[in-house]
Amino acid sequence: MFRTKELRRFHTFAFPDYPGGLYVTSGVSGSRPGYVTACAWAALLLNGQNGFVDGCRQVVSTTRYIAERLVKIPGLVLLCPTAETTVIPFTSQVFDIYQLMKNCGKRGFLLNPLQFPCGVHLGVTMEHAKPGVADQFLAVVREEAELLQLRSFF
């Protein structure tokens, strides 16, 4: 695609201190290329404004539901307890939060790693807003956190 490595060098941007880990992207739009905007527009056309807004409300309320219950799981701490987003960052000073991430991933719930401080985050979507999914996620996190806490005592 590029005639020389020197030309390719100007096509990427690297941000080594990003809280999510080393971040390298090949475009100005970062990890949010134009197709995301196109998909949002298609969802708006498919569902209509009311359906789109209702979906947003469901995701926001599911985010709050999960966040309110995550803080009740022993060993977990929200990194941004008052954030008004659909991303829930959390950590633990009791056990390896990255091991929790791996264990939850094996059980079907993907978390993304963070750094500075060590942590993970869940990006809440319409999938999480489906009946029972948020409670299933919370049950998995609780079970895995309890197991990791037990292991940390031995």
pLDDT of residue 118: 92
User: How many domains does the structure of the chain reveal?
Assistant: 1
**Residue 6 falls inside a structural domain:** no
User: DSSP class of residue 110?
Assistant: -
pLDDT of residue 154: 56
What's the half-sphere exposure (Cβ side, CA atoms, 13 Å) at 82?
0
**Residue 75 falls inside a structural domain:** yes
**Residue 1 falls inside a structural domain:** no
**Residue 55 falls inside a structural domain:** yes
pLDDT of residue 4: 80
pLDDT tens string 38-61: 888 888 899 898 998 999 999 999
Higher pLDDT, 56 or 22: 56
Cα separation, 109 vs 111, in Å, equals: 7
**Residue 5 falls inside a structural domain:** no
Tokens linked to 120 = 């993970």
**Residue 4 falls inside a structural domain:** no
**Residue 3 falls inside a structural domain:** no
Cα end-to-end distance, the chain, whole Å: 54
**Residue indicated by tokens 């949002």:** 40
Average pLDDT over residues 104-113: 96
Average pLDDT over residues 15-29: 73
Cα separation, 50 vs 54, in Å, equals: 6
pLDDT of residue 64: 96
**Residue 83 falls inside a structural domain:** yes
Whether the predicted pLDDT of 152 surpasses 60:
yes
Name the strand (E) or helix (H) holding 100.
Answer: helix 97-106
pLDDT of residue 153: 65
Whether the predicted pLDDT of 28 surpasses 70:
no
The domain in which residue 106 lies consists of 11-152
SS3 13: strand
Q: Which residues pair with 15 in a beta bridge?
A: 23
Name the strand (E) or helix (H) holding 146.
Answer: helix 133-152
pLDDT band at 1 (very low <50, low <70, confident <90, very high): low
CATH number at residue 127: 3.90.1150.10
Work out the angle between the directed axes of helices 97-106 and 133-152 (0-180°, nearest 10): 130
pLDDT band at 32 (very low <50, low <70, confident <90, very high): low
